[in-house]
Structure 1
C-alpha cells in the first residue's frame, strides 16, 4: 500500500524531528491529498495482481494507450542485457508505459526501471523498480549493485537520464540536462543501449505552474498521473546502439551523454542517428514449433545427459533454421563478431546441412555446426557454391581433396551453455555424421579469432599456428592475408623457441594472459585433435563482413586424428538412434 507519511518521514527526518505534530500533521495531510493516497490505495485493494499484470491494470484503469510501429518493436532485444534510455515527458505514467513496452517484448519478461522512492511504496511494482532518492536523484551503492546484477543476469534496465520530468521551452517539451549514470553502467557491464522516444505531454497547467515556480509543477505531478490529461502516447524505438559505438576514450562521458540525448531527439524526427547502430537480434521462434519440426529430423544420437543431436536440412526445418540464425547472431555478438543483422542466415544455409544439439528439458537449441558436402556442392555450383569461396581464393590444389571433404563452419554454442560440454557433444555429432559417410577423409573451414583480441595477441596466435601448423600444401589463399611486420616477427622470435611445441604452447598461454585472453577454443581443439601434420592452416585473413574477425583456413586429415580422439568422436561415444526421432 502507498504510505506517503512513511516516505516523507524517511526523506525529511530533520523536519519531523524539529517540528511538533501541529505543524507536521497538516503537511502530511496535504501531501496525502496531493499524491491521492486514498484513491491509489483503494485501487490497490481491488487489484490483487503485481508486476507487469499490475502495470497493465493501471494503464487500463486510466485508459492510457500507446502507438508504436510493429517493425520498431522488433528493435527491442528479446533476450540479453540491454539499457533502455528515454526522455521523461510525463514524470510518472511514462514509467508504466515503458515497463509494458519492454516487458512484453522480452522473452523472460524480466525488466527493471529506475524509479523514485515514492513509487517504491507500491508493493505491486516493487520487484520491477530500482530506487533513486527522489529528493536529489542520486543512486545509492545498493541501487547501483541491483542495476549491475540485473544486467549481469541478462535483464533489461530502463533509465530516464534526465532524472526529472521534461519541461516546456521555446523549442517544445524537452528533457533538461541528462546525467551520465546510464552510460557509466553501460560501459561497466558492456551493455548495448536502446533509445526510445516518448511523444506525450502533461497539462498546460503543469507547465504554466512550472514556469512560475518550478516546485509547483513538481507538486502537481502526482495529480497528472492519477488524473491524466493525456490518453494516447506515441513511441519511437530506435535501433540498438552496440557497446563498440561508445566504449572508447575518444570523448568524455559528458560529451557522449550529450550525444545520446541528441541521438534520441533526432530519431524522434526520423532523422539519421548519430551513433552507429545494429539490427536487434530476431525474436525467438515458438518452442512447440521447434519440437514439432524435430520429429521429422534425423537424430544422430543422444548424449550422456539426455541432450539430443540432430541432422537438419533447411527446407524441412524452417523454424529451426530461423532459430539457429537468431542464436548464431546472439552468440557471435557476445564475442565481438556477428553480421550486425537481425539473424545470421545466408544462402549457403539452404543447401548445407546442420548438426544441432537440442535440450529437451528447456526446449531450446544449445548449439549447432554447419556441414557442407563439398563434392555435391561443387557438382551443382562449382567452387563458388562453397562458403569458403566467399572468404578466400580456393586454389587448384583443392581439387586433390575436395571430393572427399566436408566444410565445417558457423559453429556456435549459446552463451548460457558455455560452461557445459556442448562443443564436445557437437563434435560427437560430427563424428556420428562421419561414421555414416566413410568416404569423407578431410574437414576444412574457417576458424575465427575475435577482433576483440588485441593486435599483439592476434599476432602471437598467428605466429604460433603458422609455425607449428602451417600447411605444406596450400589449398586456400586469403583475399588479404593477415600480415605481421618484420619488427614484430623478430620480437616474437625472441619470445618463442620455434622448435619445441609443448614449451611454446605454455609460452603462448602465458603471453596471452597479459591481455586477459586465451587461445580460442576451436584453435585449441583442432591442434589437439590430430597427430603431427593432421591439421594445417593454409592462410589467415580478415572477414570484413563478420565483425572484422581474423580467420584461419584449416584442413584436417581424418586419417591422422589421434586414436583416442577418433574413438571418442567417431568411434561411437554418442548413443546412436537407429531411426529418426
Structure 2
C-alpha cells in the first residue's frame, strides 16, 4: 500500500502548507478512496482503470465512429478534447486498451504517483518551477514511444475545458502543438476523439472569478461524476498523406482541433436549410424534352463562328436565344432537372427567365446522341448595361453593388446557370470542355478580362457545413478590395455560438482539399465541396459575398470573381489554347498588377 500517493510538497508554490491546499482541493477524499476501496491491491493497469470506473459507477460507450478506425499497429496518436479534467483520461485509456495493448497517455505527473498507472502515463509537470526542462524529457519519451510504433493518447489543451460566453458552451483553451509535433516526427496516424459533456456550472463560475479556482475544484468534479456514462465520438483517422499538406505544427494542431470538434453532438446535428427538395409534390412537372429533330435543325443553322471547339463527338457552341430556340428550351428543362437532384431548382416546369433572352448560351452538344450535355449562360456586362442598365444583370438580383464594383472588375463577363447532365457527371470531362469553351470565348473576345457570377452551395448541405465553407472561403479566398463594394440581398446567418471553429484556424489551413475532407466528415453522405466551387478556386477565384437565394430552394450563392490574367500560364493555355492565351495576354500586357486593386478604366 502506497501512502505517498497524491502527496503535495510540504510547502506548495503558493507558500501555503500542503495540508491546507490538500483539504481545499479534496486530496484527502481521493486518497481515502484509493486506500480504502482496495484499489491499491489491483496490479494490472487495465484492471485498475476498470476498478476506478466501477468504484465511481462510471461507464463509457462509443456514440459514433468506431475503435476500429484506429490502426491495429504502427505509430498512432489519439487526440481528444478535455471536458472534465481526469476521469475522461481513465475512460478513454480503458477504451483504447480494448483495441491495442501498447497505449500510453501524456498526462499530469501527479497521476504517475499511482503505482498502477506508472506504466500507462508519461507525466508532465504543470506547476513546478523547472517544468519546462522536465517536460522536454517527457515529450522526448512520448516521441520515442510513437517512433517505435506504439499509440499515444494526448489531450492537447493541457488543461480542462472552460466556459466561453461567445460560444455559449465549454470548450478547450488553445491547443498546444505537442501532438502535432510528435505525429509529424513519426509520420503517425492521428485519430480525433470528441468527448461529450462538461463540468458543473459552479466549476465554470469559479473559473470566471479566477482560472486557478477551477483548478482547486477539479477533484470535486471527479467525485461528482458518479453514475455517469462517458460518451466518445471517434473520428476518421488522419494519415500522413493528408496532413503533410499543412505547413507547420501549429497549422496541423488547428486542423486536428477542427476535426475533433466537428465530431461533437452540436456539430453533427443534421439541421438543413428549409427547402422543398424533399417535397416533390410542390414541384411543377417538368416540360417534355425538346424534339431531337428540331434541336438538330437549330444546330444545323449555326455557322462555324458559333462553334468554339470540338472533342470527339462533343462540340461546344455559343449562340443567342433566337438562334437556338429549341435547344434553349431543352437547356431550361435540363437545368431544372439537374438542379433539383442536388436540392436546388426553381420548382417550375422549366428554368428559363427574362435574362435568357439577351444573354448568350454556351452549351455542349453530343452530335452522336443528339443531346445537350451541359451549358453556361454568359453575359457581356458592358453591352447589357448599355441596353438595360445595371438592373439587367442577373447577379444584381442576388447582390447589391454599384458601378464602382464593376469598375474594379474592368471589362467582364457574367457567368451563371451552369450545369452538367447527371449521366455525364461521373467524370470531369464535360465540365472541363465547358470551361475550355469559356476560355475560347474569352480568347475571341480578349478585352473581357474578368469572369464573375454566382456559384451555388445547395441546401442539401447542413447549415453548419455551409457556414464552415463560407467562413473558410472568405478567410482564404476573399477580396478585401471588392468585399466592401458588395452586399448580399439575403445574407447567410452565422451565429458564433453554433460554430465550433475560429476564423484564424480556417485561415491557417489554406488548402481546399483539407476543407473538402472536413465537409465530407460533417455530411452523412460523405460528400465534399461542390465540384464547380473547386473548379473556380483552381483558377484563383475570389469569393466576394454570400447570399441565400429563396427562389432557388435556399441555395447559398457565393459571388466569385476570376481574373483571367491571374491564372498561371499553363492552366490558361489549357482552357484557351496556346495561340488564344498568347493573344489574350498580349491584349492585357502591363495591366496585371493594377487589376482588382484600384479603380481603372473599364469598358462600360
What's the TM-score once normalised by structure 1's chain length?
0.49
What's the TM-score once normalised by structure 2's chain length?
0.47
